[in-house]
Structure 1
Amino acid sequence: MPPKELPGFYYDPEKNRYFPIKGPIPGAATRRPPAPAPAPPTPPPAAGCSRKRARRPDLLLSAREMYGGGVIFSGTNTRSTFKQQCQYAQASQPMAWKYQATASVADKALEELNAMVQTPQGLRESRMLVTGSTNGSVRLYRLGSALKYFGNDIEFLPQPAWTPVGKHKSATLPSICSAEAFFPTFSSSITCIKKFGLHVPDASNTNTPVQRALVATLGSGESGGSVYIMDLSDTIDSSLESWTACRVASLDRTVWTADCSPDGTRAAFGMDYGAALLDLETRGLSWLCRSKSDILSQKFVHSGNVVLCGLRNGNIVPVDVRQKHQNHPTGAPSPSTARRTVPMLPRRRQGTQRNQDDKVKCSRDISMSSAVCSLATLSSDENYFLGSSMDGSIKLFDLRLIQKGGIQSYEGHVNSHTHLPLVVDPSETLLMSGGEDCTVRIWSIKTGELIFAQCVPNTLFTAFCWPKSSHGLCGPSLFDENHSWGAWLGSRDGLFYMHGT
């Protein structure tokens, strides 16, 4: 009699057995599932760069249904998750808007903060975009549609800067507003604006996530740079004029960069003769390290125990901030209290002799091909960080493998003498930057694949901010609800907002 048909099984007459249909057939060679069909050809990219298009979302959905939601194999045999592939697809065709009448306001620093605003209808939560420029001005812009505009506000309207190929223009982005009165101008160029204190209770004791920001100025020939704290923990009135900036340190040298520890208790800033550490609670000032080369970039790792210092000579030096030091409440640090750079060393090497330790210190420094412009760390694993140099090279480093140099490169940028900023998306999947060729580029951090490149003639992007989504914090906002992601781009030509599809 012929064998019975059993659901989910098949009958092998040679072995006289039933075998499940799901899974590989016993005795058959295991093979990797075929990769999904490639995306259709796309128009050639801008001259001087080559990039690969992420696969279309419909192909990704097909791959997930066929092979499951785990690992997906690309044409180059690299592995990535379905979520990562979706992020690549959303970042491959972004749209950008330019806000009118915003020239020379955001060419040095961008940061997005939360604040409580006093309106005629009462206290309202609002997101604020803080911008800094080379002329020393700092402005606050109210974002989103949660608050209505008032009589003393200036409204800035967006216009499309570029639209994805083959797609219609999306819904109009909301305008932003700022006070009509001029904001105070600092004595020199803004170096950086860094937020800290993620959960500071406001004056009304509502425990809203209002924030503060550290503002550093470069300094001029007449005076050195300074460090200020912009405090948004108090209620701001609707005119946006009640915020305060308190000077916490004045120095007699140029301040190139600054950064805050994740817990908001310490700030490090790099100068033309070394780096200093500032206790934001006691205002104690001390040496972090001495250097004959300018420190152009700094970044705390996620634990806050180590700060990375990028030097003009191309070296990147990790410094342990837990070493003992003397405090100096006012003025510049005294050279007599300078302490040597303490690299991250294995515990067994802590007790070696001084000359041997110096040799280890030199060998543990990381070198790039030219001046280190920008540093970015990954909170998912503090051993990894990204660095950019002035010649256009961008690399991923591992502190455990310093002797091997960069473990991943991100190609395409054209740069020779300007600042090369780096910004990482909140999921730490994508990397964005802009070079002297007036081109914005997005890479995959994991694979180094160039996902997007767009040239904007005569626009050099020198500041980036990729904030986390604020759903549920400050009310509904068109900046979030209609887009998969969004980032702010600053240039001398104006303020831009770029978002995914």
Structure 2
Amino acid sequence: MPPKELPGFYYDPEKNRYFPIRGPIPGAAARRGTPAPPPAVDTTGCSRKRARRPELLNAREMYGGGVMFSNKAARSTFKQQCHYAQASQPMVWKYQATTSVADKALEQLDAMVQTPQGLKESRLLVSGSMNGSIRLYGLGTALSNFENEAEFLPQPACTLVGKHKPGPLPSIWSPGTGFIAFSSSISCIKKLGRHVPDASNTNSSVQRALVATLGSGESRASLYIMDLSEAVDLAIGPWTTYRVHSLDRTMWTADCSSDGTHAAFGSDLGAGLIDLETRGSSWLCRSKSDILSLKFVHSGKVVLCGLRNGSIAPVDVRQKQHNQPTGVASSSNARRTVPMLPTRHGGKQRNQASKDKFSRVISMSSAVCSLVSLSSDENYFLGSSMDGSIKLFDLRLIQKGGIQSYEGHVNSHTLLPLAVDPSETLLMSGGEDCTVRIWSIKTGELIFARSMGDSPFTSSCWPESSHGLCSPWLFDVNHSWGAWLGSRAGLFYMHGT
């Protein structure tokens, strides 16, 4: 008689006994008779094969929650597969009457807002535009009680075929005084410092932001601190903003250290470092090629500088030399000087001395327009260039170039940012073809790609989830993840199911 089938076991005729069905051991050959993982479902618009949630749950029960396999045979955990499934079928909303309010920068902060009914905790979206204006939007009802508030209603911008009709997304609110104008275009808005919750304050959060302006022929480029640590009274005027540095150059970008003590900026003359406590400034590096992108690694010891000529130069902020910089920096604590570096596609080879001096410089195929450092391991960072190339780099393997590529990005001349989700599993960007794309950081697989209107996305913000705060936020309660996108066409919100 044939052997009896037992749930969770398979029969080995050679050994004449039953064995439990378990997940595959990495590096070991598959057992004879072990069933294959469940079939994947094809996705229209990208190359990734995606398993449905019931299939993922079944696979976890059958093969364990540790190792699973995608169509490229790359190992990934059950949790990562769930992230991929949630990101592959997002819903996108566009907020009406938000044209040109968020085409340069987006950031999400927390603040205590003084309302007619008293102090209320509110989550605020801060948007920056090319015309030099910054506006606050309340994500919830705390800002909906002002006399001159404006309500911005969402409407679906993208509904995937076969997807159930989503519930309504909340409106956002902005009072007439939640607005300030600067003398030149906004370059960037970045959270200033990260407050780690402790036992005495379980709801501490980031309440300050670094704001950089581009500069123009009539005004100097400047760095500002936007402080929302005190109660914000939007009924009597704008919030507290003060200048910490200015220069007679073009300021393309800026970033701040994770502890909030230092800021760095990239200009057409080089990169500078600002001590936010003493207001002292110094040059990190000098360059004849504009520094278009800049990023601190998580420890704050290294600043990654992305140049127009395609070079990425990691600069140690602790390294000091005796050379005196000339220019607008006010401090004599200068770091090493980096001249204009030729890219690898430029033709001529560097001489041996130059190779030795700048051996830690990476070259991309065109101008470096965005840099993102991974906090889970600061040796890894992502970079994108204007020709659409996106790569993952390892600071320990700089000579080998990129260790992972993300294909499909379309770009030629604009500065488009990269956004990474809080779990550092997913990478998102928008190209000049007006298409939003999401990749797996680990495997490089394209998980989602879809056109969203007729204007490219030039700003993005993928904030951390609000789960665990004392009061639920309307944007998080029904969604597995959510990210903000900005373009000339308006303000968009993309979320999972």
What is the one-letter code of the residue matched to 2:469?
L
Structure 1 CA distance, aligned partners of 2:367 and 2:330?
26
Change (3 A) 1:10 1:319: closer
C-alpha deviation, 1:337, in angstroms: 6.0
Matched, 1:22 2:23: no
Change (3 A) 1:455 1:12: closer
Is the 1:94–1:498 contact (alpha carbons within 8 Å) kept by the matching residues of 2?
yes
Structure 2 CA distance, aligned partners of 1:11 and 1:492?
63
Structure 1 CA distance, aligned partners of 2:106 and 2:10?
63
Aligned pairs for 1:85-484 within 5 A: 85-145=81-141, 148-181=144-177, 183-199=179-195, 208-239=204-235, 241-324=237-320, 332-333=328-329, 338-341=334-337, 359-473=355-469, 475-484=471-480
Is the 1:107–1:491 contact (alpha carbons within 8 Å) kept by the matching residues of 2?
yes
C-alpha deviation, 1:206, in angstroms: 10
Change (3 A) 1:121 1:64: same
Q: Name the SS for the 1:199 alignment partner.
A: coil
Structure 2 CA distance, aligned partners of 1:206 and 1:34?
46
Change (3 A) 1:285 1:106: same
Change (3 A) 1:14 1:195: closer
C-alpha deviation, 1:58, in angstroms: 1.4
Is the 1:416–1:436 contact (alpha carbons within 8 Å) kept by the matching residues of 2?
yes
Change (3 A) 1:472 1:119: farther
Is the 2:282–2:331 contact (alpha carbons within 8 Å) kept by the matching residues of 1?
no
Point out where structure 2 has 5 or more consecutive residues left out of the alignment: 1-5, 23-28, 339-350
Structure 1 CA distance, aligned partners of 2:11 and 2:452?
64
* Residue from 27, 31, 36 that aligns with 2:38: 36
Q: TM-score, normalised by structure 1?
A: 0.87
Change (3 A) 1:29 1:399: closer
Q: TM-score, normalised by structure 2?
A: 0.87
Is the 2:139–2:474 contact (alpha carbons within 8 Å) kept by the matching residues of 1?
no
What is the one-letter code of the residue matched to 2:442?
K
Q: Name the SS for the 1:21 alignment partner.
A: strand
Change (3 A) 1:7 1:231: closer
Is the 1:158–1:175 contact (alpha carbons within 8 Å) kept by the matching residues of 2?
yes
Q: Name the SS for the 1:267 alignment partner.
A: strand
Change (3 A) 1:213 1:138: same
Is the 1:287–1:325 contact (alpha carbons within 8 Å) kept by the matching residues of 2?
no
Change (3 A) 1:53 1:493: farther
Structure 2 CA distance, aligned partners of 1:11 and 1:162?
50
C-alpha deviation, 1:167, in angstroms: 1.4
Over residues 377-436 of structure 1, what are the superposed CA-to-partner deviations in whole Å (9 max), with x where a residue is unaligned?
111100000000000010000011111110100000111111121000000000000010
Change (3 A) 1:402 1:473: same
Matched, 1:64 2:66: no
What is the one-letter code of the residue matched to 1:470?
S
Structure 2 CA distance, aligned partners of 1:461 and 1:7?
51
Match of 2:343 in 1: none
C-alpha deviation, 1:324, in angstroms: 3.5
Q: Name the SS for the 1:459 alignment partner.
A: coil
Match of 1:350 in 2: none
Aligned identity (percent) is 74
Structure 2 CA distance, aligned partners of 1:197 and 1:55?
38
Over residues 334-370 of structure 1, what are the superposed CA-to-partner deviations in whole Å (9 max), with x where a residue is unaligned?
697643159xxxxxxxxxxxx9885433222000000
Q: Name the SS for the 1:484 alignment partner.
A: coil
Is the 2:272–2:282 contact (alpha carbons within 8 Å) kept by the matching residues of 1?
yes
Look at both structures and tell me which one has the larger radius of gyration over its CA atoms: 1
Is the 1:126–1:474 contact (alpha carbons within 8 Å) kept by the matching residues of 2?
no
Q: Name the SS for the 1:402 alignment partner.
A: helix
Q: Name the SS for the 2:20 alignment partner.
A: coil
Structure 2 CA distance, aligned partners of 1:153 and 1:9?
64
Q: Root-mean-square deviation (CA), in Å? A: 2.9
Structure 2 CA distance, aligned partners of 1:14 and 1:51?
41
Structure 2 CA distance, aligned partners of 1:316 and 1:404?
14
Is the 1:118–1:236 contact (alpha carbons within 8 Å) kept by the matching residues of 2?
yes
Structure 2 CA distance, aligned partners of 1:133 and 1:474?
32
Over residues 107-154 of structure 1, what are the superposed CA-to-partner deviations in whole Å (9 max), with x where a residue is unaligned?
000000010111233221111100000000000111124564322211
Q: Name the SS for the 1:61 alignment partner.
A: helix
C-alpha deviation, 1:222, in angstroms: 2.7
What is the one-letter code of the residue matched to 1:300?
F
Over residues 290-316 of structure 1, what are the superposed CA-to-partner deviations in whole Å (9 max), with x where a residue is unaligned?
111000000000111000000000000
Structure 2 CA distance, aligned partners of 1:188 and 1:286?
24
C-alpha deviation, 1:282, in angstroms: 0.3
